[in-house]
Structures are given as C-alpha cells and as structure tokens.
A and B are shown apart, each in its own frame.
Chain A
Amino acid sequence: MSTAAVAMMILALVTLWGGLLLSILHLRKHPDDPD
C-alpha cells in the first residue's frame, strides 16, 4: 500500500471509530434520568 493510502485508512478509522468511541463514552457519562 502507498503511504497516502495507509494514511487515509488510518485517518478514516481514527475519525469514524474514534467518533463512535467518544460518543459511547459521552453517552455512558450521561445516564438517562428515571421517569
């Protein structure tokens, strides 16, 4: 794989999977109040 391709693959994984991880952590920090 070319350097550019590797860089873009890492960037895609970091932004999308990283975004997912951060979203999950954010949600876990804010549990829903009981009704």
Chain B
Amino acid sequence: MAQHEVTRKREVWSGRSVFIMAAIGSAVGLGNIWRFPYIAYENGGGAFLIPYLVALLTAGIPLLLVDYAIGHKFRGSPPLAFRRLRRGAEFIGWWQVLVCFVIGVYYAVIVAWAARYTFFSITEAWGDDPEGFFMSSFLNQDTDATFGLSFVPGVAWTLLLVWIATLAVLALGVQRGIGNANRFFVPLLVLLFGALVVRSLTLDGATTGLDAFFTPNWSALTDTGVWIAAYAQIFFSLSVAFGIMVTYASYLKRKTNLTGSGLVVGFSNSSFEVLAGIGVFSALGFMAQAQGVEVGEVVAGGIGLAFIAFPTIVSEMPGGPLFGVLFFGSLVFAGFTSMISIIQVTVSAFQDKTGLGRVPAVLAIGGVSAIVSLLLFPTTTGLNTLDVVDRFANQFGIVGVAFVALVVVAWIYRRLPELRDHLNSVSSFKVGTGWMVFTGIITPLVLGYMLFSEIRDRVRDGYGGLPDSLVTAFGWSVQAGVIILAVLLTFIPWRRGIDEEYELDENRPLASAQAPASSGDPSPGPDSSTGGTR
C-alpha cells in the first residue's frame, strides 16, 4: 500500500498560547475550588504554603515537564507515546487512558449537578434545608440500598446534555473544538470567579475567614502527613501523570518552548488555587459570623462545601442568587474544560490505535463513556458509587500509574536523560540534574509512600463506612480491571503505518529526525514496511 494511504497527519495546535490555555483549562478544575482551600486549612493554614511551594517546584512542575517531553517527543496519545519510548511500556499508556475513562464517567456527573445548581441558585430552590434538598429532593438518594438502577430524571437529563456538549467540542477537533472552547471558557472562568472573590471580600466576616485560612500553624511543618498532603494536592490539581498532558503536548509544533510553557501552566494553576482559597474562606467567614459560630465549625471541602455550605451562604447573604450563579457557573466552566481534556485522552488513544477519524472515534468512545456514566450515576444510589469510584481512581489509579510510569521511565529504561535533552533542545528554561533528582527520586518516593499508605488503610479500614460489597465492586475490582485491560490492549495490533507516520511527521523533534533511533526508539523494524506493527 502506498505510504500516503497508511499515514495521516496529526492535528496541531495553532500556537503555544492555545496549548497553554487548554493546559490551564485542564489543570484548573473542581479540585482547585473545593479541595485546595479545605486541604490548606486542615494542614497548617498559612504554614501550608511552605510544603505546597516545595511540592510545586520539586514535583508538580517537574512532572508536568516529564509529560510534555514524552508527548512532544513521541507525538502520540499515551499508549502510542509510551510504545515509541519503548514497546514494553505501552501498557502504562493504556493504564492512563483507562484511568481517564473511569474519571470521565463520574466527573461529568458533578459538572451536571453544578449546572443544575446554577439555575437552582436563581430561586434558592433548596429553601432553608440545603442538605435535605441535595440528598433527598435533588439526588433522591436511597440510603438503604447499596446499588440500584433507579434513575433520577433531573440528574440524568442534565448529564446527557453535559455529554453532548463535551462530545460536540471534541468532534470539532483539537484546534477548532478544544482550543476554541478553552479560549472562551478559561477567561470566562477567571472573570466569573474574580467577581465572586470581590463579592466575598466585601461580606461581613470575610476577614475572620481569611484569618482562619492564613494564620500559620508552624508545628504542622514537622508533621509528615502535612507534607504528603501538599504533594498530593499539587499532584491531583495539576492534571499530571495520567495522560492528559502527554496527549495535549503531542499536538504541539516541533519548535515549542516546553519548559517556559510548563512554568506558566504550573503557576497559573496555583495562582487560581490561592484565589479560590481567598474566595471560599471569605464566604465561610461570613457564614460563620451569620450563624454565630467559629469558622472551624463551618469549614467543609468537596461536595459538602459546594452543594451544602455554599447554598447556605447564598441563602444568608444579600444578592445571594447572583453569588450562587457566579459560584456554580465557575464550577461548571472549571469542570467542563477539565472534562474535555479527560475524554480527549481516550478518544486520541482510540484514534491512534484504530485509525478511525475523529468524529467516529468521538462517537464510539464518547458514546460508550456517556452510556456507562448515564447507567451508573444518575441513580438513587449514585452518590455512594461516585464516592468510591472517585477515591480509588485518584488514590490507586492516578497515584499507581504515576509511580509505575516514573519507575519504568527513570529506572528500568533510564530515559530521563533523553527527555531532559529533548526539553532543553526546544526550551528557554533549561533543566538539569535537579529535575532528574526530583522526577527520578523524590517524586517516586512520595508517590510510593502515598500508594502504600492508601492500600494499607483501605485494606484495614475499608472506605468511609460504606458496604464492603460496594467498595470491592467499584473500588478494588475496577482498578484491578483497569490494569488487566491495559495489558490486554497492548496485544491488539496497531493500525497500519503507525511507525512510518512518526518517521514522516514534519513536527517530529529535530533531534530524532537527525540522529539514528536509539535502542528504545520506534525504529522501523523488519515488519514496519508492511505496516504490521506487532
């Protein structure tokens, strides 16, 4: 078959600014708004800044650069990029893709909740009982059942719309869909959230909240748990090590300043987080003052903060409906741009493996994701299922694959020097021994400890008092299934011409184009001329 018939051109961002915007859109998600403020408060308040900064500089940004280097150098979705790094590493890419699949199917549900609450805010539909409204009226949760398929139409319809919007953006393509969506939604998010912070700061009691948030508890710095919490926050917040940044970087032009872009993305994410801390704690300070209690008594994180504490604040403040629209609208936009990036990882891998066009790939993979999401979560038992899937996908899925990927890349295949050279060949901010130590030693140690302690705790304590059958089915089994399926997917042959495509790619890095492929490079083996790749 003629070469042009088996190879296709990879999509490309129009410039680095679109890539940076998309990477920021991916990194800034729900966790920035509802996780960081709570984690910082619980782990030393103002003193948390020290371990947080150390984690950003020694793990967050260095890991981001590992992802950029792999995606940009090997120009593929995670399975293809890792396969090009070394064939035996392909399963890591599939593991990342499947983690994204699992996260995508429940993440969409939270975006759907936030979308409904944006409208609920206008009428303050929760009345004087936000918790009862959320659990009973809105989610219609059945606390007696472990798992069921009784649908909650109000959630299911909104979830369907979220999926349609996500898949529509992805179907438009990397630049026209993802790029333009992020160029619109990221500035809109900053604008909305900025307005929310300004309003929060003018509320009575705001300074009390800020005082609680920023007062340093220096003794926390001697607590190992606080340092691990800081690394975990940076790690989960930056969208690193589960395929998103590898995928996004694979669409960059050859001569793109990777490290300079990474610094902007890393600091943007953390800048937004500290802004979120200020906005959230100002509002919590107001709530505490209105109720005549200490700030510590109203502090919450996650779903409790967003869907119970904030509706309470909206009800208690003058001009509450507008404040609610700003808050939940911010959650929707932050979640939507992250959601796009998560599903793009799965679509991109499916396209690379099968050779399907973008739209059929979006319909196939996006369609399956949407169906799974719609079957499992908008139900009367969906909240507990979501809780378990979320915990295990993050603490085992993301942490596990990140740990294995770093050990394999740094220690088994010893490819960090090559990735360092690649970063330095195209970037203005050079990385050296420090980057190698951070990514090859410090971060794997921290991740290994996180993984070990989570396995120990879950085996010993179960999770959140939830039934063991639920934890086994949606926690342990899903994560074990993900790893098994990742290995099995490596046995499915790649589409024809996958190696020639890399050799002919005009955006392939100069170093690879000029130098002969190293031992691990995807050199065209004896069978590649026939297009057979495995």
Contact = CB atoms under 8 A, between A and B. Distances in A.
Interface of A: 1-2, 4-9, 11-13, 15-17, 19-20, 23-24, 26-27, 29-30, 32-35
A20 B261 CA distance: 11
A31 B243 CA distance: 27
Nearest to B265: A23
B214 A12 contact: yes
A33 B255 contact: yes
Nearest to A11: B49
Given A20-B270, A23-B263, 19 more contacts: A1-B207, A2-B211, A5-B214, A5-B215, A8-B47, A8-B49, A9-B214, A13-B274, A16-B53, A16-B271, A19-B271, A26-B263, A26-B428, A26-B429, A27-B260, A29-B428, A30-B260, A32-B255, A33-B255
B267 interface: yes
Given A1-B214, A12-B49, A17-B271, A32 B16 contact: yes
Contacts of B211: 1-2, 5
Contacts of A35: 253-255, 506-507
B257 interface: yes
Contacts of A6: 214
Interface residues of B, number: 35
A16 B267 contact: yes
Contact of A23 (B16, B264, B273, B507): B264
Contacts, number: 91
Contacts of A2: 211, 215
A13 B256 CA distance: 29
B216 interface: yes
Contacts of A4: 46, 214-216
A6 to B, nearest CB: 7
Contacts of B256: 32
Given A30-B260, A32-B16, A32-B255, A12 B274 contact: yes
28 contacts: A4-B215, A4-B216, A5-B210, A5-B213, A5-B216, A8-B46, A8-B214, A9-B210, A12-B214, A12-B274, A15-B49, A15-B53, A16-B267, A16-B274, A20-B267, A20-B268, A20-B270, A23-B263, A23-B264, A26-B263, A26-B428, A26-B429, A27-B257, A27-B261, A30-B257, A32-B255, A32-B256, A32-B257
A23 B260 contact: yes
Interface in B232-285: 253-257, 260-261, 263-264, 266-268, 270-271, 273-274, 278
Given A12-B274, A16-B274, A32-B253, A26 B214 contact: no
A5 B46 contact: yes
Contacts of A1: 207, 210-211, 214
Interface string B210-225: 1101111000000000
Interface string B37-81: 000000001110100010000000000000000000000000000
A23 B255 CA distance: 18
Contacts of B507: 35
A34 B255 contact: yes
Contact of B271 (A9, A20, A29): A20
A4 to B, nearest CB: 6
Interface string B417-432: 0000000000011000
Central interface residue in B211, B256, B273, by most chain A CB within 10 Å:
B211
Nearest 4 interchain pairs by C-beta = A8-B46, A30-B428, A20-B267, A23-B263
Contacts of B260: 23, 26-27, 30
B264 A20 contact: yes
Contacts of B49: 8, 11-12, 15
Nearest to B20: A27
A3 to B, nearest CB: 10
Contacts of A8: 45-47, 49, 214-216
Nearest to B53: A15
Nearest to B261: A27
Nearest to B47: A8
B267 A19 contact: yes
Contacts of B429: 26
Interface in B351-406: none
